[in-house]
Amino acid sequence: MKVRSVTVRYAELDLAKPQGVEALYMRIGGAARRVCRADSSLRLRDRVNSSSCYQDAIGRAVEQVNLPTLTDLHQAKVKATVG
């Protein structure tokens, strides 16, 4: 099985500031949408698979960056969506 990937560039972001971390998280989310083809026009089963892919892709990217403030932001977003 071929794994799709997208490179997210963030060297110009100031990750010492919350705005920089948020910008990186948004870029990761955009890349995950492209890789997982998250599209509301998909059939229900495909949307469920796409959603799972999207969440997994974001989690893996956050883990790879290995930045505590990004990890904290991701955990807060996941907790907010799970409720």
Residue 4 is predicted with a pLDDT of 80
Decide: 66 and 49 in contact? Cβ < 8 Å.
Answer: no
CA atoms of 36 and 55, how far apart (whole Å): 9
CA atoms of 65 and 15, how far apart (whole Å): 11
Say whether pLDDT at 14 is over 90: yes
Say whether pLDDT at 22 is over 80: yes
Structure tokens at 66: 């290995």
Shortest CA distance to 24 belongs to which of 8, 36, 38, 35? 8
36-78 tens-digit pLDDT: 875 555 566 655 666 888 899 999 999 999 999 999 999 999 9
Q: Give backbone dihedrals phi and psi of 74, rounded to 5 degrees, phi first.
A: -60, -45
Say whether pLDDT at 2 is over 80: no
